[in-house]
Chain A
């Protein structure tokens, strides 16, 4: 088990290097350090010295990938790519192009993101599973058909409309909660209710439908038939057998998204003005702050890989037949 985890962790290294090279190339292929300096300094008349100074201060005054003026290994290591990327592997994100400490920003902004994502996930799971179980219980009846039709209808509405509609109805017309903003401590709850609610409504369609197929798959299995033929009531079959066994695919499906919860949601956070990592990323994109975007891409990739690893491990934990090789 331990050996498997270590091997998988080592396998992540080439992937992270690939991610780094890709983002690096994407940003530098057209946006040269000179352009970045001009953009960040933002003054109309810039002297050449000012640009050089900015580049030197932030370590952008080296060649991109290959330093031909150096000797030996230095050819590779004394470049922007090496200097900027290798520190990411130690989770040292350095300073943003506007001079702020990225690691500190991330540690601060992580909490608002989690404050939305975790309740959203839990409430969403509970509601979706309840609905799906209900629909699966009444499978083949009109309730089932109506339920599925409703799911498809809900799925066909863009997430943006849920947010706009939610803000308008709950925030403006009913005046229950503030439309956007954030606060610390318990005060934050009134700001979090609406985003969580909107996320819940927006996800009901696809979630319920997905869990319904999982339940139906489980219902079609042999052990369910055995349980029924033993004379168990349908309710007992559903709750004691189907629900329990269906939790395996459901929970392993949830595990993969767990690490990504840290990243927050770009859209929700920017709409509701929540200072989480999602809006942090979005701000960095709009202000073209390369250091932040690269850090977030790296962080996202690491979390994604952790998610994959956790999924594999959780499979072995719930199903001993799966052997890790």
Chain B
């Protein structure tokens, strides 16, 4: 039975808005022009591919449903109160492979020693074999390396096939669209003569698929990022955290955007007392240290949730509510920058001739704002949305570390770091949870940073001139 959490709904709403925006831009040449330079940038397109891989995983993880219970006696279908996502079903093998406690990546033995009773009644203290990790091997010490190598080889072959099919399809599409012969398209892609850097896109796409397919194959036989204290697969946790990171990074801006745009433009356009009030509001909000404001709000929410436990259908719904609330409160602390920028820009714009002319003709304020001012500040909004994303993903980790971030039961990189930081003091060091969250976060944030740089360069001509 499908179910829609609050954040799911909002993230799909956002997706819908982005699609509508893209369609709108495609119809208008003057809007399309800056995007062309983004599309031409090799770095931007490579990062865009990586970002879309994250996005697909995050979206699959946002399609939630209540799984059906196996109960042959019941006449009507019964549904569990647990909430699963489509992504959980795809990687169900990871969910079922829990171990007892820590184990290193690709390990066949547990991390800590245990007393094991032998068949003759005597006991020994040794590292027990894992239940799933490398369980198919009879002698892990000698077989493991070649087994991993073989599996990687098989996976690479699969990846190569997928890669070739995919390239073929895309090239065929381009060829059909341009009505060029297929071989010419291939040639000009290889030479890098196309306007869009298809070669780079193909390479990034191929690499992503290669990594994903290898990880997919190996994760059926090993814990590729080890297991945590209670034996859960770290790779699964890191993958699940993608959704949390994406939601924090995108929904926060979605929440704050209406306020920032409305207030910024009206302050700059109407001036007078409206300007004073709005300036007062954002100076006040800005002068409270952001972390303290977030902390106070999250504490408040915690107390509320503790007192109103019955309002939440399930644990998932509860942690989802907290995630949404965190987005809102992060939005409250971060909208002021954009608001100030918009106010300044609008103040400049309202003195421009065509707006003075519109006012002289008696055009209404709403019309002027919607038709003349909003389109002219759109690039500022866009740049700030794209630039904010990576900062928000990083902020989540810090907030979760001081326990004012997402719900502790929710998978997030911040929670992974938080629970793993004590493990660095262990001997031997338990490093894999940190490594996993580091890699996943780093790749996402790096791609986002590179992409936002390209967008900023494309939309801010002043900056481009300076760089040249």
Contact = CB atoms under 8 A, between A and B. Distances in A.
Interface of A: 14-15, 18-19, 22-23, 26-27, 29-31, 35, 152-153, 155-161, 164, 167-168, 172, 213, 216-217, 220, 263, 266-267, 270, 281-282, 285-286, 288, 293, 296-297, 300-301, 304-305
A160 B401 contact: yes
Interface string B291-319: 11101110110011001000000000000
A206 to B, nearest CB: 10
B263 to A, nearest CB: 15
B466 interface: yes
B351 to A, nearest CB: 19
A216 B293 CA distance: 36
Interface in B417-450: 417, 421, 424-425, 429, 434, 438, 441-442, 445-446, 449-450
Contacts of B293: 26, 297
Contact of A26 (B284, B286, B289, B300): B300
Interface string B275-290: 0000010011111110
A23 B296 contact: yes
Contacts of A155: 449
A267 B418 CA distance: 12
A31 B297 CA distance: 11
A158 B450 contact: no
What secondary structure prevails in chain A residues at the interface with B?
helix
Given A29-B300, A167-B424, A19 B401 contact: no
Given A15-B280, A286-B403, A293-B292, A159 B394 contact: yes
B397 A158 contact: yes
What secondary structure prevails in chain B residues at the interface with A?
helix
B69 interface: no
Contacts of B449: 152, 155-156
B401 A304 contact: no
B154 to A, nearest CB: 33
Given A31-B300, A282-B402, A156 B445 contact: yes
Given A30-B304, A300-B292, A267 B397 contact: no
A285 B295 contact: yes
B287 A304 contact: yes
B288 A217 contact: no
B97 interface: no
A184 B292 CA distance: 28
A172 B424 contact: yes
A270 B402 CA distance: 9
Contact of A216 (B297, B421, B466): B466
B248 to A, nearest CB: 13
Contacts of A35: 303
Nearest to B300: A30
A18 B398 CA distance: 27
B287 A152 contact: no
Nearest to A305: B287
A27 B298 CA distance: 10
A297 B299 CA distance: 15
Which of B291, B296, B402, B445 is most buried by chain A, counting CB atoms within 10 A of its CB? Answer: B296
Contacts of A297: 288-289, 292-293, 296
A263 to B, nearest CB: 7
A281 B300 contact: no
Contacts of B8: none
Nearest to B444: A156
B453 interface: yes
* 10 closest Cβ pairs, A-B complex: A18-B284, A156-B446, A301-B287, A300-B289, A156-B445, A304-B287, A285-B295, A26-B296, A30-B303, A158-B397
B404 interface: yes
Which of A30, A153, A155 is most buried by chain B, counting CB atoms within 10 A of its CB? Answer: A30
B331 to A, nearest CB: 16
A267 B398 contact: yes
Contact of B466 (A153, A161, A220, A285): A220
Given A15-B287, A167-B424, A263-B289, A285 B299 contact: yes
B424 A158 contact: no
B442 A300 contact: no
B390 interface: yes
A157 B289 CA distance: 23
Given A216-B467, A263-B289, A22 B402 contact: no
13 contacts: A15-B287, A26-B300, A29-B300, A30-B300, A31-B300, A156-B442, A156-B445, A157-B442, A213-B463, A285-B292, A285-B295, A293-B295, A305-B287
Contacts of B424: 164, 167-168, 172
Given A26-B296, A31-B300, A158 B287 contact: no
Nearest to A266: B291
Contacts of A300: 287-289, 292
A30 B302 CA distance: 10
A71 B291 CA distance: 39
Given A157-B442, A213-B466, A297-B292, 20 more contacts: A15-B287, A22-B285, A22-B288, A23-B296, A29-B300, A30-B303, A30-B304, A31-B299, A31-B300, A156-B442, A157-B438, A158-B445, A159-B394, A161-B434, A216-B466, A220-B465, A281-B292, A285-B295, A285-B402, A293-B292
B43 to A, nearest CB: 9
A19 B288 contact: yes
B421 A164 contact: yes
Contacts of B286: 304
A152 B179 CA distance: 40
A18 B434 contact: no
Nearest to A148: B453
B438 A161 contact: yes
Given A18-B284, A164-B421, A172-B424, A217 B466 contact: yes
A282 B466 CA distance: 43
Contacts of B280: 14-15, 18
Contact of B434 (A22, A164, A220): A164
A225 to B, nearest CB: 14
